[in-house]
Structure 1
Amino acid sequence: MTALPASAVSGALLIGAVLPLLPFLGRIARLAATIAHEVGHCVVVVPFGGRIRRIDLHADGSGEAWVSLGRVPGAVRWLVRVLNLFAGYSAPLWAGALLVTGAVVGTPWLPVVVLGVVGLVALAFVRNWFGLLVVVGFDALALWVALRPSGLTLLVVAALGAAFLVDGLRSLLQVLRWLLTGARVQTDFHIAAAEMRLPAVVWFVLFLGVNGVAVWAARGPLLAVWDTVVVGVRAVVGA
């Protein structure tokens, strides 16, 4: 499949970027990002011997994931615990970046892999009825992209990727506001603070540092995608 016009992809990205900010559609976009968030918590522990217990999704857009680290070797358990905590807020951002990259390049396979991994893990481990209904809808989208690849599916993928990125950034800004105001909340960073005796703000800074290093390592393809998006946005705005 050939790459779509940059203006078309950028138009889809702009639509997707607005979705998380709308009253009703924002809740739907938030649920999709929450699926990626909770799956991110889970999948990073499996290569080290961890086990996924269950995932719950709630109507308010929140979610919970339970994993067991009992089989993880003691020498690396602390590292796996940190990776588990960091992966939640990282997953929507990196999933969004991969979806946008697939749309910009014009290949459905990268989005299929991303949506497939997230959708299959969620379907296997979501245990509440509301969560299952949400995941079935998510998996239907993944199947559509996989079985009927077209320009339209790539535009939908671009919009979903942008929604993931915006909602992921919105969540981080919300956490930053809570940290600055000292709000009594239970984020991944506060859980880490309670378990490993470093302030939540330190864990937040470490999270930003780790992801900053990852962005720097992947700067080549990320900048190429960014340049394409900028050209497309200018074409859309100029039109």
Structure 2
Amino acid sequence: MTTAAPALVPIALLVGAVLPFVPAAGRVARIAATIAHEVGHAVVVVPFGGRIRRIELHPDGSGEAWVQLGGVPGAVRWLVRVLNLFAGYSAPIWVGVLLVTGVLHASRWLPVAVLGVVGLVALAFVRNWFGLLVVIGFDALALWVALRPSDATVLVVAAVGAFFVVDGLRSVVQVARWLLTGARVQTDFHIAAAEMRVPAGLWFVLFLAVNALAVWLARGPLLETWATVVSALRALV
């Protein structure tokens, strides 16, 4: 991937970071984050013998993934259920981190690989017409980045990556707010609570702990990427 003018990359990052809080545009863009959320479920289940029966994406930005774990060996089934639970809200954040890292390190193939995996898995499992239209658009973006690398693709990937990270964190904070206020919602944590008789709040705390461990294990490259972002923003200011 070519390197865009240094002053433009931090601007793209800022645009992507602000997008989740723009009322109309944020709701539309959130469908892309939902794709990553639902694909996260598929990525952790299928390798263990589980099946994704279908994924649906809805115009309001929500999505659903129907998972079957019958083919998963009994010895690891509980672990796969937990991974499936945690993968949804984790996926957009980590996808965004990988995209931003690829841009800042001038890597062409890391963003292509990330967008390609998300796009192909979604295309394989999305079954409703609205979802298919959205996924086709997402795959078109991945093809554009892969086949026509340019300064424009760098800036778009930077904005998309920043959007995924910020919107993913926004979703996690929103879930925390729902749990604290006792709102009647149906998140992955509430579904797990109903299935496994463990409070949704406890599942959420475990989710935070697992992701904190992942951040600690990847602290080297994450701190390097963060330092590069801060340096670019300071240069912009």
Do they fold alike, i.e. is TM over 0.5?
Answer: yes
Partners of 1:9 and 1:158 within 8 A in 2? yes
- For the pair 1:98 / 2:93, whether they are aligned, the reply is no
Gaps of 5+ in 2: none
Q: What is the match of residue 48 of structure 2?
A: 48
Count of matched residue positions in the alignment of Structure 1 and Structure 2? 237
The aligned counterpart of 2:128 is 128
Segments of 4+ moved more than 3 angstroms = 1-7
Alignment of 1:112-123 (within 5 A): 112-123=112-123
For residues 105 and 156 of structure 1, what CA distance do their matches in structure 2 show?
15
Corresponding residue for residue 61 of structure 2: 61
Q: 2:152 & 2:103 partners in 1: Cα distance?
A: 10
CA distance in 2, matches of 1:81, 1:69: 8
Q: 1:98 touches 1:110 (CA, 8 Å); kept in 2?
A: yes
**Contact kept in structure 1, 2:53 and 2:67, CA below 8 Å:** yes
Distance 1:12 1:156 in 2: 7
Q: CA deviation at 1:122?
A: 0.7
Cα shift at 1:2:
5.5
1:75 aligns with 75
Q: Distance in 2 between matches of 1:3 and 1:230?
A: 18
AA partner of residue 121 (structure 2): V
Determine what percentage of the aligned residue pairs are the same residue: 77
State the AA in 1 paired with 2:163.
Answer: A
Q: What's the CA shift string for 1:206-232, capped at 9, x where partnerless?
A: 000000000111111111111111011
Corresponding residue of 1:234: 234
The reply to whether residue 157 of structure 1 matches residue 157 of structure 2 is yes
- The CA deviation at 1:6 is 4.5
More deviation, 21-30/109-118: 21-30
1:146 corresponds to: 146
Q: 1:191: Cα distance to partner?
A: 1.1
Give yes or no for contact 1:51–1:67 (8 Å, CA) kept in 2: yes
TM-score using structure 2 length:
0.97
- Cα deviation for residue 190 of structure 1 reads 0.8
- 1:192 paired with 2:192, answer yes
Aligned with 1:175: secondary structure? helix
Deviations 1:51-76 (A, max 9, x none): 12110000000000112111100111
How far did residue 195 of structure 1 move?
1.4
Match of 1:25 in 2: 25
Aligned partners of 1:17 and 1:110: how far apart in 2? 20
What CA RMSD, in Å, does the superposition of the two structures yield over aligned residues?
1.1
Give the TM-score, by structure 1 length.
0.96
What's the counterpart of residue 210 of structure 1?
A: 210
Partners of 2:4 and 2:152 within 8 A in 1: no
SS at 1:39's partner residue?
helix
Q: SS where residue 118 of structure 2 aligns? A: helix
Query: Where do 5+ consecutive residues of structure 1 fail to align?
Result: none
Aligned to 2:170: 170
